[in-house]
Each structure stands twice: as C-alpha cells, then as structure tokens.
Amino acid sequence: MKIMGLLGAAVVGGMVGRRSARRQMEGMQKQAQAQQAAQAQQAAQASAKTDPMQEIAKLGDLKAKGLLTEEEFQKMKANLIAKM
C-alpha cells in the first residue's frame, strides 16, 4: 500500500510541476510580447520626432550633389510635407 501511495504522490507531483512550468512559460511569453510592443512603440515615436525641415534640407543637399533629380527631390519633399 505504501508503494501505491508513493507512486500516486509522484504522479500528482509531476502533474503539478508540469502545470507550474507551463504557467511560467506563458508568463515569459506574455512578457516578451509586451517588450516587443514597447520597442515597436519607441521606434515609431523616434521616427515621428524627425524634423521634416531637416529632412528637406538633407534632400536639398543630395540634389545639389547631383544624387537626386529635381523630380525625385520634389516627390520626396511633397511626401515629407504631407506627413506634417
């Protein structure tokens, strides 16, 4: 009888341990998802902080160096102004 009791306790203990491990894993996954969402939000905020006037000035420099055509410059400038 003692052996049956010990085996039963081992089975129950194993089930509890697996359940605990599963809960811990789920918690870690939720935490990782929250961190990814926070990083994505920070990246979006950083890109929103870019000054459109500075970007237009950079485009003007590229145009002056001959790296952009007038048409490319105007399209890119219009896109930046539209985002303002």
pLDDT digits (tens, 9 = 90+) for 6-65: 556 666 566 667 888 889 999 888 888 878 877 777 766 665 567 888 999 999 999 999
Q: What is the pTM of this model?
A: 0.43
Helix (H, G, I), strand (E, B) or coil at 1: coil
Token reading at 14: 């194993």
Neighbours of 59 (CB within 10 A): 20
pLDDT higher than 60, residue 70: yes
Q: Where are the domains of the chain?
A: 1-48, 50-84
The reported pLDDT for the residue numbered 3 is: 62
Is 52:81 a contact under the CB 8 Å cutoff? yes
Q: What is the residue whose two structure tokens read 């052996």?
A: 3
DSSP state of 32: H
Token reading at 63: 């145009």
